[in-house]
Chain A
Amino acid sequence: MTAPRTIYDKIWDAHVVDQQEDGTCLLYIDRHLVHEVTSPQAFEGLRMAGRTVRAPQKTLAVADHNVPTEGRIRGIEDPESRLQVETLEANAKEFGVEYLDMLDIRQGVVHIVGPEQGFTLPGTTIVCGDSHTSTHGAFGSLAHGIGTSEVEHVLSTQTLIQTKAKNMLIQVDGKLPDHVTAKDIILAIIGKIGTAGGTGYVMEYAGEAIRALSIEGRMTVCNMSIEGGARAGLIAPDEKTFDYFKGRPRSPKGAEWDKAVAYWSTLPSDEGAHYDKIIKLDASNLPPLITWGTSPENVISIEDCVPDPADIKDAAKKAAVERSLAYMGLEPNTPMTEIKIDRAFIGSCTNGRIEDLREVAKLVKGRKVSAHVSAMVVPGSGLVKEQAEKEGLDKILIEAGFDWREPGCSMCLAMNADKLAEGERCASTSNRNFEGRQGRGGRTHLVSPEMAAAAAIAGHFVDVRTFD
């Protein structure tokens, strides 16, 4: 009998093509998602070496980072963005890879598109030249971001050179209070372990609170594993996962479906499997969380105040807090609920799914965005947008004063025209609050969709639990 294994161990073992004496492995990659920003140099590398794409059917290309979120029918105005998207299209055509163009209803943020199409599947290895590939771990797939050299390596060989990471278990027990969400769970974890806390690990999320999350919520949690420094995040597949994939365009069908479900059911970690590190969190007493600084680990409760560097002993940490506060334009000890915002951004691979839009619409129905706030909603994909419009969510949002946009990465990283002006403060459902992330000099506070929506209405941050 083999020793008990974690889900990571199992997926890893099932994909080792070759192992060298020093432990370096060649890992088979089942699925490769490609976008316009990190792939041009990889395709160019193939061309220069006279190489081909080994498994075009296991590769899917989508433009998402650079695409405009309005007036899309007119094309892309910025010449550099346009060239990058056109280059992806030309490369996909030349190397025989399926490409979803920006007018295709299936287009969207690559990490939302993959699962929607059933391209992402449990038990598979998935890579993309994008750190938020960790999102796909929500389905029990081993998924992580890679650099462009590795994109070229996977295109050419369908494998990746890897050494195995360690196993970390993040056990989230208890029931989430009302208005506290998957986003708050992952922010709490990052706040607890720090942005380097997961370095060298694959994090598996388990426990009552994780089981209770919808598929969308699980994606939010796994999405930000990278902000905790982990190579990947994983959640064991269950009935919710199987229901999600049933009937998707690329999901297995008929007898193959049954065989796949039987296999997927063997993936959850065995009783007694070894974890190198275990972190525990109680969801039942979590408040809505918010970041105050320029690192995703700068997390506090909405009930708290901006931290005071005077309270910090460690010189390097104190300097980091001072630097962050200066950038964020915040005074120590200011209550978070007194901080005014200029912008609200709802969308991204973290929180751009239908469930997120439903929560936002529910909260803003019959209300108006504050006069000094500009708020935008960017659906994660064309299919999310279509579903939201079918449910009339767009009308509620537009009525409340939100901009209803076309799908893409948008102001999560501001590579297209959607960006903060210098000094503007934003309540954002995205994943990074780094200096300049949403535009040079822009100030980002990471929150859940409900918290962003409530802040847009109030004009400042509020505790969504007591918002009326």
Chain B
Amino acid sequence: MDKFQKVDGVAAPMPILNIDTDMIIPKQFLKTIKRTGLGVNLFDEMRYTKEGAEIPEFVLNKPAYRNAQILVAGDNFGCGSSREHAPWALADFGIQVIISTSFADIFYNNCFKNGILPIALPQADVDKLMEDAERGANATVSVDLVSQEIHGPDGGVIKFEVDAFRKHCLLEGLDDVGLTLQKETSITAFEEKLAVSRPWA
């Protein structure tokens, strides 16, 4: 995984509540056996007509936001299924940061495994950033994971929280499986105890 430190980019506004994983990547694109190439189908049914033509009103089709790296969205972003295809599609499109008041649990987890930083902020901060995002390509937002700060186009600073372990993994681009395998001895010891105390499990 690539290291994540800082993103300076255009933020696209999506002031919709409960953006679910079916919206982010509809099921017809889950038939792939690869992780890559899903960006073109990100938000497919909101972004294209049935015939496949771009819908000009959709935010990521507007010239200002075609290269957005940050999404500012309504409450409960990523609710629904566990499909990691959702963060794969976002990452493949180029989205590296998502800002909302809240995220669904599985989606939130999945983001960190794919170099995406989800940031949960109070409503007032999200409202402010949504306004900034509405200003299009002229208003870039800077997200610094090291200092845990978001710098808006007007020089305003918003601090954000992130779990220390997840921050460390994102900054270093660490592979979870590799980290856990270093604890192999503890896992084996646990399994040996389990075989005695709960052999049916």
Contact = CB atoms under 8 A, between A and B. Distances in A.
B157 to A, nearest CB: 25
Interface stretch (A140-148, A362-370, A377-385): A140-148
Contact of B33 (A44, A153, A320): A44
Contact of B16 (A80, A123, A195, A320): A320
Given A146-B106, A157-B187, A436-B22, A229 B79 contact: yes
A83 interface: yes
A414 B164 CA distance: 39
A316 interface: yes
Interface residues of A, number: 80
Nearest to A133: B82
B interface SS class: loop
- The winner among A17, A124, A251, A320 for most chain B CB atoms within 10 A is A17
Contacts of A80: 31-32
Nearest to A409: B27
Contacts of B153: none
Contact of B82 (A18, A38, A54, A320): A38
Interface string B115-148: 0000000000000000000000000000000000
Interface string A111-134: 000000000010110000111010
Interface in A401-438: 413-415, 422, 432, 434-437
Interface of B: 15-18, 20, 22-23, 26-28, 30-35, 45, 50, 74-76, 79-84, 87, 102-106, 109-110, 113-114, 163-165, 176-177, 180-181, 183, 186-187, 190-191, 194, 198-201
- In the A-B complex, the 4 residue pairs with the smallest Cβ-Cβ separation, listed nearest first, are A252-B200, A149-B113, A40-B33, A147-B110
22 contacts: A28-B187, A28-B194, A37-B31, A38-B84, A41-B35, A83-B33, A87-B33, A123-B198, A147-B84, A147-B87, A147-B109, A148-B35, A149-B84, A157-B180, A158-B187, A158-B191, A196-B102, A199-B105, A259-B200, A320-B17, A413-B27, A441-B50
Given A37-B30, A257-B200, 17 more contacts: A17-B187, A22-B164, A83-B33, A121-B200, A121-B201, A129-B84, A131-B106, A144-B106, A147-B84, A149-B110, A150-B109, A153-B180, A156-B177, A195-B79, A200-B105, A229-B79, A320-B74
